[in-house]
RNA sequence: GCCACCGUAGCUCAGUGGUAGAGCACACCCUUGGUAAGGGUGAGGUCACGGGUUCAAGUCCCGUCGGUGGCUCCA
């Protein structure tokens, strides 16, 4: 006699087993029609799932109670749509074997092994979609049936589907006591798929869908294993939602930093220079410089010392640090001097032999530095250090080079040469907590100044069963606790992830999403017991004994390249006044006002404001349009009327209207104050009455 | 690195085997116009690069380089 408790607290009692569909029908025909699935005790389930005992039941409909698209409904619809797509593809591509087709954040995909010589391409999407539409129109029910593990496996073996057998075996290993299938229609005659479910009641309930793209993947994510074709699609409750989603994607594309980087002349990448190597153009370099100045000010305030170190170092340095032996495949190959190379050639030394002899240390060379720490360590080690000197905080906007896989490189977010806002703190163990806090303070300050609130924090802890970690467990416990406590003070979501620590210590990472939903790690703070050991670093303690310092690596924004790439997208290219490469553009109405415009330009430049004049022969409308396209924060329109009154008429980016006139001094002074205060004051304060 | 798709003017893109195109940007001329593009004229191309097929290749095939989306990787 199940007692069903609904989300509003009301209850219904049933004499026998009941399904969510029946409950929905009892509540009302509207709900029965709208229901796509159910949450039984919080667990997503089919509408036809039997409820045998007391349960909390919520019916899933396309829209939640706030009227927003319901996430569970989307999950059900997309999962079901993946089945429909798979059926359509199997129909059109005989011999295609299905592997795995889950819903994902913005849609779903299905991994499929296509037979040799029969490959789907995006040109095939429309005919696949036609078949899918037909299947949806047929409105066939999703019918679930279960077999015992043994019977199920036998069935799969009879069908000979290697991938599905694997899925089943893994489900069994994970503790399933049965295997379930979903037939799209009648089991035995209609299409079916081994699947855990749940699904919408029938294909007709899939509102609107679209195939999006094709990609490849590896079976089990293992690059040595079978290569699969992944077809991405998305589904929504109705056409309107789908359309809105596609519009969002289009909008997102407009703020893509690669598009804006070109349009706003921030940076360029030239294939002759090399893949993944950023050329900062003047406008982008200005943004970077302003940001670095901002960070530098805070570093100075926190007692960091800035240093400069070269872009290369001897191979032996990186043998000591361990970077060369352990991360060789992600470094540029070493540089060997001409004479040595000639000598080796004469000996007839093979490439393999050369590599071996470099590994052994018989041949030395130089490495483009993959990290800044060894150089900074040598600065630390260049003086005798007392416990009174600690912490020693060495900071550098240090450029490093890494041989990233070619397929992974793109835009500014994944590059081969980049500048970290790096620093290494050498401290006593009891100072770790305070130092980590200090690092977080910079992160908080800069993210809040930039208005970046959409980031998450990941605390990487050691895997409790792992054996790869250096340093004693007691130290680890204390360092992990310090990281955990520090992260909690940030006031943003953070997750603890065991096994994500570096082998030498725990870390805190900052992760943001780009405009197309990909996550990027920006900054990181890492506690390191290993390098001080490797380089035999020491300080003299109060006890007059030698002690080993602990190192903290921290690059709160990761790299200037990636950070500014993300920042461009964050602002959609419309930098706030203090960061804008061009802060003010003076627009004379005609040549008659050229002198007056130049006078204003002079005043702006005297106050350090980055400004230009558009002396072109365009009409004012065109000048405004051009400047607006460049997302310049303030436009200063000057004509005869202004010259007469000693004023300037102001237009701000993003405002459709001319804001009104200000005396020249007031204008220049306000922009200067806004710029110097990094936005704490604003020129807009003069126009508040107008704006509201 | 792997798979798919793509590479035509500075940018965005059209061009399905038969004379290389458009819009914007650029240069010059006219226009001196009060807030999101006034008008005209002109210049600009080794169709990424290298091979091949063909009477004929931007177009078809192979390779290389580069880009995009994924996968894998990311000290």
- What confidence score (pLDDT) does residue A159 get? 87
Considering the candidates A373, A439, A483, A577, report the single residue annotated as catalytic.
Answer: A373
Q: Which bases of strand B sit closer than 7 A to a protein CB?
A: 1-5, 11-12, 25, 29-38, 65-75
- The reply to whether A238 belongs to the active site is no
| pLDDT single digits (tens) A442-489 | 999 999 999 998 899 999 998 877 777 877 888 888 889 889 988 888
Considering the candidates A83, A369, A416, A553, report the single residue annotated as catalytic.
Answer: A553
Task: Flag whether pLDDT at A73 surpasses 90.
Answer: yes
* Cα gap A76→A111, rounded to integer Å: 18
Q: Match 């600690």 to its residue by tokens.
A: A390
* Cα gap A475→A429, rounded to integer Å: 8
CA–C1' A427–B23 (A):
62
Nearest residue to A101 via CA among A13, A11, A229, A15: A229
Helices A432-450 and A473-488, interaxial angle, to 10°? 30
Task: Flag whether pLDDT at A275 surpasses 90.
Answer: yes
Task: Flag whether pLDDT at A692 surpasses 60.
Answer: no
3-state helix, strand, coil in chain A (%, to 5): 40, 25, 35
| pLDDT single digits (tens) A113-140 | 988 767 788 878 888 999 999 999 999 9
**What is the secondary structure of A452-477 as a DSSP string?**
---EEEEEEE--TT-----S-HHHHH
CA–C1' A214–B4 (A):
6
Considering the candidates A393, A462, A507, A570, report the single residue annotated as catalytic.
Answer: A507
CA–C1' A623–B27 (A):
19
Give the closest nucleotide to A329 (alpha carbon vs C1').
B73
- The reply to whether A323 belongs to the active site is no
How confident is residue A536, by pLDDT bands cut at 50, 70 and 90? very high
Give the closest nucleotide to A322 (alpha carbon vs C1').
B75
Q: CA Rg, chain A, in Å? A: 31
How confident is residue A690, by pLDDT bands cut at 50, 70 and 90? very low
* Cα gap A564→A245, rounded to integer Å: 26
CA–C1' A632–B12 (A):
22
Question: Model-level pTM greater than 0.90?
Answer: yes
- The reply to whether A686 belongs to the active site is no
Q: How many helices (H) and strands (E) does chain A have?
A: 23, 32
Give the closest nucleotide to A323 (alpha carbon vs C1').
B75
- The reply to whether A16 belongs to the active site is no
Residue A294 tokens read as: 């901002």
Give the closest nucleotide to A641 (alpha carbon vs C1').
B34
Half-sphere exposure of A666 (CA within 13 A, CB side): 14
Nearest residue to A205 via CA among A246, A238, A243, A245: A238
Q: Any residues with CB less than 8 A from the CB of A335 and at least 6 apart, and which?
A: A312, A365, A366, A367, A368
Which residue approaches B74 most closely, CA to C1'?
A: A404
b/e map A241-268, b = 16+ CB within 10 Å:
bbeebeeeeeeeeebbbbbbbeebebbe
- The reply to whether A424 belongs to the active site is yes
- The reply to whether A402 belongs to the active site is yes
- What confidence score (pLDDT) does residue A689 get? 58
Residue A247 tokens read as: 């519009």
Residue A299 tokens read as: 């570093």
* Cα gap A516→A258, rounded to integer Å: 12
| pLDDT single digits (tens) A206-235 | 999 999 988 888 888 888 888 889 999 999
Give the closest nucleotide to A650 (alpha carbon vs C1').
B35
Question: Hey, how many other C-beta atoms are within 10 angstroms of the C-beta on A5?
Answer: 15
* Cα gap A38→A190, rounded to integer Å: 25
Helices A149-159 and A162-173, interaxial angle, to 10°? 160
Considering the candidates A199, A205, A369, A424, report the single residue annotated as catalytic.
Answer: A424
- The reply to whether A615 belongs to the active site is no
């Amino acid at each position: 006699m199940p007692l069903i408790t609904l989300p509003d607290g009301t209850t219904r009692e049933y004499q026998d087993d009941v399904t969510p569909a029946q409950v929905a029908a009892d509540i009302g025909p509207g709900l029965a029609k709208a229901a796509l699935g159910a949450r039984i005790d919080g667990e997503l389930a089919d509408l036809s799932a039997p409820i045998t005992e007391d349960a909390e039941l919520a019916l899933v409909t396309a829209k939640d109670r706030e009227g927003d698209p319901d996430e569970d409904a989307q999950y059900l619809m997309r999962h079901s749509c993946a089945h429909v797509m798979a059926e359509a593809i199997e129909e059109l591509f005989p011999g295609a074997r299905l592997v795995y087709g889950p819903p994902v954040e913005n849609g779903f995909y299905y991994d499929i092994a296509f037979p040799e010589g029969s490959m789907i391409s995006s040109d095939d999407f429309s005919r696949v979609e036609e078949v899918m539409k037909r299947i949806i129109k047929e409105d066939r029910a999703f019918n679930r049936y279960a077999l015992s593990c043994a019977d199920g496996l036998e069935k799969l073996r009879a069908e000979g589907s290697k991938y599905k057998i694997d899925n089943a075996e893994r489900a069994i290993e994970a503790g399933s006591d049965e295997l379930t299938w979903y037939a799209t229609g009648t089991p035995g005659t209609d299409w079916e798929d081994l699947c855990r479910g749940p699904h919408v009641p029938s294909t007709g309930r899939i509102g609107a869908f679209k195939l999006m793209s094709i990609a490849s993947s590896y079976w089990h994510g293992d690059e040595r294993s079978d290569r699969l074709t992944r077809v991405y699609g998305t589904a929504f409750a109705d056409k309107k939602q789908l359309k809105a989603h596609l519009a969002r994607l289009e909008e997102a594309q407009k703020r893509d930093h690669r598009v804006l980087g070109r349009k706003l002349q921030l940076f360029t990448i030239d294939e002759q220079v090399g893949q993944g190597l950023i050329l900062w153009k003047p406008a982008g370099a200005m943004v970077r410089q302003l940001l670095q100045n901002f960070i530098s000010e805070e570093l100075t305030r926190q007692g960091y010392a800035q240093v400069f170190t070269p872009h290369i170092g001897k191979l032996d340095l990186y043998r000591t640090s361990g970077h060369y032996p352990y991360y060789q495949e992600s470094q540029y190959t070493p540089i060997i001097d001409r004479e040595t190379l000639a000598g080796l050639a004469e000996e007839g030394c093979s490439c393999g032999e050369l590599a071996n002899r470099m590994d052994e240390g018989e041949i030395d060379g130089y490495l483009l530095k993959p990290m800044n720490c060894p150089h900074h360590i040598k600065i630390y080690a260049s003086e005798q250090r007392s416990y009174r000197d600690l912490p020693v905080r060495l900071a550098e906007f240090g450029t490093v080079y890494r041989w990233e896989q070619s397929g992974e490189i793109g835009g500014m977010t994944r590059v081969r040469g980049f500048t970290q806002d790096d620093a290494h703190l050498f401290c006593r163990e009891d100072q770790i907590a305070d130092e980590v806090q200090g690092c977080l303070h910079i992160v908080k300050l800069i993210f809040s100044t930039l208005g970046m609130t959409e980031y998450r924090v990941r605390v990487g802890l050691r895997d409790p069963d792992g054996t790869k970690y250096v340093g004693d467990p007691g130290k680890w416990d204390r360092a992990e606790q310090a990281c955990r406590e520090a992260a909690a003070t940030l006031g943003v979501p953070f997750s603890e992830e065991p096994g994500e620590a570096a082998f030498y210590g725990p870390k805190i990472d900052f992760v943001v999403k780009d405009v197309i939903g990909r996550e990027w790690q920006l900054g990181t703070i890492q506690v390191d017991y290993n390098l001080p050991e490797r380089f035999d670093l020491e300080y003299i303690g109060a006890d007059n004994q030698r002690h080993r310092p602990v190192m903290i690596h921290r690059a709160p924004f990761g790299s200037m390249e990636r950070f500014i790439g993300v920042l461009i997208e964050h602002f959609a290219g419309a930098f706030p006044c203090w960061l804008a490469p061009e802060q003010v553009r003076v627009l004379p109405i005609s040549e008659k006002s050229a002198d007056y415009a130049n006078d204003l330009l002079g005043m702006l430049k005297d106050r350090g404001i980055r400004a230009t004049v558009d002396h072109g022969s365009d009409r004012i409308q065109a000048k405004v349009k051009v400047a607006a396209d460049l997302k310049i924060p303030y436009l200063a329109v000057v004509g005869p009327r202004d010259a007469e009154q000693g004023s300037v008429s102001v237009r701000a980016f993003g405002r459709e209207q001319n804001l009104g006139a200000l005396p020249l001094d007031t204008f220049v002074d306000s922009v200067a104050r806004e710029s110097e205060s990094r936005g704490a004051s604003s020129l807009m304060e003069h126009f508040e009455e107008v704006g509201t």
